[in-house]
Amino acid sequence: MAQTIDADLCIIGAGSGGLSVAAGAAQLGRKVVLLEKGEMGGDCLNTGCVPSKALIAAAARAQAMRSSGKFGVAPVEPDIDYAAVMDHVRSVIETIAPIDSQERFEGLGVMVIREHGAFSDERQVKTDSAVINAKHFVIATGSTPFVPPINGVEATPFLTNETLFENRTLPKRLIVIGGGPIGVEMAQAHARLGADVTIIEGDTILNKDDPELVAVVHDALQAEGIEIIEHAMVDAVSKTDDGVSARIGDRTITGSHLLMAVGRKPSIEGLNLEAAGVAYDKRGVTTDKRLRTTNKRIYAIGDVAGGRQFTHVAGYHASIIVRNILFKTPAANNEHLAPWVTYSDPELAHVGLTEDEAKAKYGEAKVVRWPFGENDRAQAERDTKGLVKAVTDKRGRILGASIVGRNAGDLIGAWAFAIANKQKIKAFTNMIAPYPTRGEASKRTAGAWYTPALFSDRTRKLVSLLAAFD
């Protein structure tokens, strides 16, 4: 017989967002029930951010061995044990897992139920063993890989990010359908580990980013031998004697493995949202600025809320939930302030508006750049690919910034801080950057904004006039 549980808060989903809400609420003395039918830690820990970055790190070590000649160190072709690489990936997951474990959260006072939960009415969720009545609910079920309805896909073996890290055989030839961040990252990682790789993209790769900076990544991928086919739709896929094939028009591409990386869809199946009066569409659960659904006692956060699908956004959503539910402080979702990063080599990072978006919104925008070719640290590292690009209004208010180059994901943080705090580009000129670092490029970019006015005829005349007082 199912037990009846009365709680202050019931959270469905133990991914990044759900865990953050559960930890915060429990430590503030609330009675919290957390439901998770799969692995604790969700997609990020088990099949997303953590394993992919561990794989990328291994691939980077292999590439460093090949490209060491420019430093006077004899290059060698690495001997790669792909199964051992996957052991490394698994080890990283296992090292981090205790932080997200059931035991840890139960130690914080959270009641963890490892079962699927579905709404039975507007104030109740049922699992196989429990009926949970709660004052508030949080839907944090995340997202799953979207598999497009390509002809033949049901009879063709393929990988997604959920199964990729279970594979222990290096693909001889990897076909990647989808040129977004996941597709690009995994394509480059596998190419560096010894696979022949083809990316097939219906638009252009990384098409949500600034095309000027994407071009730098595109060229780097091609230089490493990755074939990129853009503006091409896959007509059909099929299983072959040696693996798989993908047909594009009159061309057939064969491979040993196929990776589907065309996007993600919200995990809303089986939640019985209709019974709870919660509206949703194909993008996810419908929410207002406070992340409330159409049932004001039910909230949705992270990927399932239909916004930006990043772990750090889910964590940010969690902070909004804590403020709204526990502190009764109206807190709005401003996820447009969140940066994003593609962990290719070079990395590609962005926050705010792109140049095209700024011009479309404001009619005009001022754009400044600073190439890493003029950065001493980049020269010392023999890695000068990329640039910093900032977009402002005519008064210098920062509207957006993009960086492509080594450690771009770390460098974008300063720009995200500036935009979130509505700072003008002058804030960067006031900064003293340590030398030699890539961070200097951000300061130089800001300096470039003032260069036309600083060295204008008007300024020259002013300096000449002031010289009379020497």
User: What's the pLDDT tens digit per position in 250-303?
Assistant: 999 999 999 999 999 999 999 999 999 999 999 999 999 999 999 999 999 999
In angstroms, the first-to-last Cα distance of the chain is 93
Residue 227 · residue 175 · CB < 8 Å: no
Count: domains in the chain: 3
What average pLDDT does range 2-6 have in this prediction?
A: 95
How many secondary structure helices (H) and strands (E) does the chain include? 16, 23
392: domain CATH number?
3.30.390.30
346 cis-preceded (ω within 30 degrees of 0)? yes
On whether both 15 and 105 belong to a single domain, the answer is yes
**Residue where a domain stops, chosen among 231, 263, 295:** 263
Tokens, residue 446: 């800001």
In degrees and rounded to multiples of 5, residue 142 shows phi and psi of 75, -145
Structural domain includes residue 397: yes
186: domain CATH number?
3.50.50.60
Using CA atoms, how far apart are residues 399 and 191, in angstroms rounded to an integer? 36
What average pLDDT does range 93-108 have in this prediction?
A: 97
Using CA atoms, how far apart are residues 369 and 76, in angstroms rounded to an integer? 36
Provide CB contacts within 8 A for 329, sequence distance 6+.
323
On whether both 136 and 279 belong to a single domain, the answer is yes
On whether both 255 and 278 belong to a single domain, the answer is no
On whether both 120 and 20 belong to a single domain, the answer is yes
Neighbours of 79 (CB within 10 A): 8
pLDDT in tens, 224-252: 999 999 999 999 999 999 999 999 999 99
Residue 380 · residue 435 · CB < 8 Å: no
Mean pLDDT estimate for the chain: 96
User: Over 80: is that where the pLDDT of 66 sits?
Assistant: yes
Structure confidence at residue 2 as a pLDDT band (50, 70, 90) = confident
User: What is the reported pLDDT for 451?
Assistant: 82
On whether both 302 and 353 belong to a single domain, the answer is no
On whether both 214 and 315 belong to a single domain, the answer is no
**Residue 101: its H or E element:** none
Q: What is the pTM of this model?
A: 0.95
Dihedral (CA of 70, 74, 79, 83) sign: negative
pLDDT in tens, 449-461: 998 765 656 756 6
**Residue where a domain stops, chosen among 263, 283, 312:** 263
Structural domain includes residue 36: yes
What range does the domain containing 221 cover? 153-263
Using CA atoms, how far apart are residues 96 and 104, in angstroms rounded to an integer? 12
Residue 284 · residue 303 · CB < 8 Å: yes
Angle, helices 49-66/82-96, rounded to nearest 10 degrees = 140
